[in-house]
Amino acid sequence: MAGEQSHDVSACKRVDAGISRVFQLLGKRWTGPIVSVLTAGPAYFVALRRAVPGISERMLSDRLTELAAAGLVVREVYEGPPLRVVYRLTEAGAALEPALTELGGWAEKYLPEAERAEGC
């Protein structure tokens, strides 16, 4: 058709493989906020649940398991009574803090208030 430009799909820039891996993990709902809370230091499960409004216990447990499998979070069990479980970031997890801080600043500047999670 006249006026249509040809488009070479193979010439399209591809997303960086590292960015794809990061967002496969951190792009899941709740994962970023959990890591962000843990940047302040280790936390008990119940404290994490309170710090991330709207997350269920099951979802928090699942996300913490995924983060541990990815090497970003460590689960430490302290024998009781009572038995206590603490979660903390590994060195790799803590290294995310500058990026999360930058993303938070970007959100404050560019995302309208209506886009923020309810209850925050």
Domain-by-domain residue ranges, the chain? 15-115
Rounded mean pLDDT, 10-15: 68
pTM to 2 decimal places: 0.78
| 63-118 confidence digits (pLDDT tens) | 999 999 999 999 999 888 888 999 999 999 999 999 999 999 999 999 987 644 55
Residue 15: per-residue pLDDT: 74
Q: What is the CATH number of domain 15-115?
A: 1.10.10.10
Amino acid 110 reads: Y
Please tell me the least confidently modeled range out of 17-26, 41-50, 81-90, 111-120. Answer: 111-120
Task: Say how far apart CA 94 and CA 38 lie, in whole Å.
Answer: 8
- Looking up tokens 């886009």 gives 115
